[in-house]
């Protein structure tokens, strides 16, 4: 079989983030919403050098494990999404205000399928100190291009690299809007800025771009047409340049959202994503307990299956457990359109645990490839 989605069938890659060394940011105590000096253990004078070294370790861990597509591990990002939207022009990230992530559309009935470990006892997303929109949203220039060139340089041509950026739905819902006062113009402005960032990455040679869209799981409840429009605007023109786009949707980081169970609206969100111009959808699958039928919502899209549970309390999967999840998915999605990944990012897991889980992901996928005669 030939390459599909720019990679071989059953390609393995991370959602994005990788475990951080304890000397950079301790996974047991790190609070992503704290000040940078509280989050990072390394003083500002040495922080960039430390982040560069941690990125080298993240890349090395992936290459040694045998992934097919490598990320930089997001070692420079205190928060996966604010790394982008908090640095856009028109956003005040210094004078933060309390804002409910998901905005007024998030109702108790919509969030009752998950339990928050911090900030809320009802399951409803808590109000958090958030950057605010105070003027027209504009792209300020490259935000992650230097991160990508560092990744490519460290990979040395051995593997292709993938860059993750904030999805527009997540960005617009986590920004406190004090300027547009309307989701539509805010969403379009954010999408246009992120589209320029994606094209800057393409200019630098990036051929795999992932939008991180945890908030998409509820966006379809109130504004499906706008959700489709802003995602399409974000990836506009990329396919023509040979860039493969992924959209990742999850229930939230497993260290903050516990007791997950299947969201009855998740299928509808996947159906809506399937109508966008995204090439493949990365979905959380293992921890909530999804079954292969949920993949039918994605139609002919590529699927990046979360075959590894990221819950810090979960045991390390065996390769055979990973293989069973992938084999179940193959009943719905052909191997040419199926990739294997983790449920979500791994930044908060101890490095030894993350490494063991990634090894099982790679080994379990190899078992399936061999059974299909793909190795």
The CA radius of gyration of the chain, in Å to the nearest whole number, is 19
pLDDT recorded at residue 335: 97
CA pair distance 167, 362, nearest whole angstrom: 27
Cβ atoms within 10 A of the Cβ of 124, count?
Answer: 19
Q: Report whether 299 contacts 342 (CB < 8 A).
A: no
Cβ neighbours of residue 60 closer than 8 Å, sequence gap 6 or more: none
Q: Give pLDDT, residue 120.
A: 47
**Number of Cα atoms under 13 Å in the Cβ half of residue 265:** 20
Using 50, 70 and 90 to split pLDDT, how confident is the model at 220?
A: confident
In contact, 124 and 33? CB cutoff 8 Å: no
pLDDT digits (tens, 9 = 90+) for 148-159: 999 999 999 999
- Mean pLDDT over 167-174 rounds to 95
Measured between alpha carbons, how far is 98 from 131 in angstroms, rounded to an integer? 9
Q: Per-residue pLDDT for 3 more than 80? A: no
- CA-based nearest residue to 245, from 230, 224, 231, 226: 231
The two three-digit tokens of residue 2, written as one number = 């030939």
Averaged over 356-366, what is the pLDDT?
98
The per-residue b/e assignment along 188-201, b for 16 or more CB within 10 angstroms, e otherwise, is bbbbbbbbbbbbbb
Cross-strand pairs, 70? 161
For the domain with range 36-371, which CATH number is right: 3.30.465.10, 3.20.20.210, 3.40.50.2300, 1.10.1740.110?
A: 3.20.20.210
Between β-strands 163-166 and 115-116, what pairing exists: parallel, antiparallel or unpaired? Answer: unpaired
Reported as a pLDDT band with limits 50, 70 and 90, residue 4 is: confident
Q: Please, are residues 187 and 172 in contact by the beta-carbon 8 Å criterion?
A: yes
* 283, containing H or E segment: strand 280-283
pLDDT tens for residues 25-71?
A: 976 666 777 888 888 999 999 999 999 999 999 999 999 999 999 99
* Residues ≥6 apart with Cβ < 8 Å to 28: 350
Task: Give the span between the Cα atoms of 88 and 171, in whole angstroms.
Answer: 11
| Angle in degrees, CA 208, 213, 216, rounded to 5 | 135
Which of 48-62, 95-109, 244-258 has the highest average model confidence (pLDDT)? 48-62
Residue with more model confidence, 114 or 336: 336
pLDDT of residue 102: 67
Question: Which run of H or of E encompasses 325?
Answer: helix 319-330
Written as one string, the DSSP assignment of 72-134 is -BTTT-SSTTHHHHTTSEEEEEEEEEEEETTGGG--HHHHTTSEESSS-SSSSPPEEEEEEEE
Q: Please state the pTM of the whole predicted model.
A: 0.94
Write the pLDDT tens digit of every residue in 252-299. 888 888 778 888 889 999 999 999 999 999 999 999 999 999 999 999
State residue 101's pLDDT score: 81
In angstroms, the CA 139 to CA 85 distance is 9
pLDDT for 166: 97
Instruction: Give pLDDT, residue 315.
Output: 97
Mean pLDDT, the chain, rounded, equals: 92
């Amino acid at each position: 079989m030939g390459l599909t989605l720019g990679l071989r069938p059953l390609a393995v890659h991370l959602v994005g983030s990788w475990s951080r060394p304890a000397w950079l940011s301790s996974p047991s105590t790190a609070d992503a919403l704290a000040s940078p000096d509280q989050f990072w253990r390394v003083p500002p004078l040495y922080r960039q050098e430390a982040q560069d070294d941690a990125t080298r370790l993240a890349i090395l861990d992936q290459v040694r494990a045998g992934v097919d597509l490598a990320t930089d591990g997001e070692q420079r990002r205190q928060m996966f999404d604010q790394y982008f939207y908090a640095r856009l022009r028109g956003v005040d990230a210094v004078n933060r205000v309390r804002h409910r992530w998901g905005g007024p559309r998030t109702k108790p009935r919509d969030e009752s399928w998950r339990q928050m470990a911090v900030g809320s006892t009802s399951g409803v997303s808590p109000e958090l100190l958030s950057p605010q929109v105070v003027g027209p949203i504009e792209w300020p220039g490259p935000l992650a291009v230097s991160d990508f060139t560092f990744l490519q340089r460290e990979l040395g041509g051995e593997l292709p690299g993938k860059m993750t950026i904030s999805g527009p739905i997540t960005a617009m819902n986590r920004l406190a809007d004090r300027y547009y006062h309307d989701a539509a113009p805010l969403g379009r402005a954010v999408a246009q800025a992120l589209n320029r960032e994606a094209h800057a990455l393409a200019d630098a040679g990036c051929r795999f771009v992932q939008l991180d869209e945890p908030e998409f799981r509820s966006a379809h409840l109130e504004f499906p047409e706008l959700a489709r429009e802003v995602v399409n605007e974000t990836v506009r023109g990329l396919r023509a340049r040979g860039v493969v786009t992924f959209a990742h949707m999850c229930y939230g980081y497993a260290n903050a959202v516990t007791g997950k169970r299947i969201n009855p609206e998740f299928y509808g969100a996947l159906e809506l994503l399937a109508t966008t111009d995204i090439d493949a959808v990365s979905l959380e699958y293992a921890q909530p307990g999804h079954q292969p039928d949920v993949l039918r919502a994605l139609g002919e899209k590529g699927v990046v299956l979360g075959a590894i549970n990221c819950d810090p309390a979960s045991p390390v999967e065996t390769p055979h457990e990973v293989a069973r999840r992938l084999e179940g998915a193959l009943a719905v999605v052909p191997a040419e359109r199926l990739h294997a990944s983790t449920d979500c990012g791994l930044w908060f897991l101890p490095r030894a645990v993350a490494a063991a889980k990634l090894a099982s992901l790679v080994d379990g996928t190899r078992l399936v490839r061999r059974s299909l005669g793909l190795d």
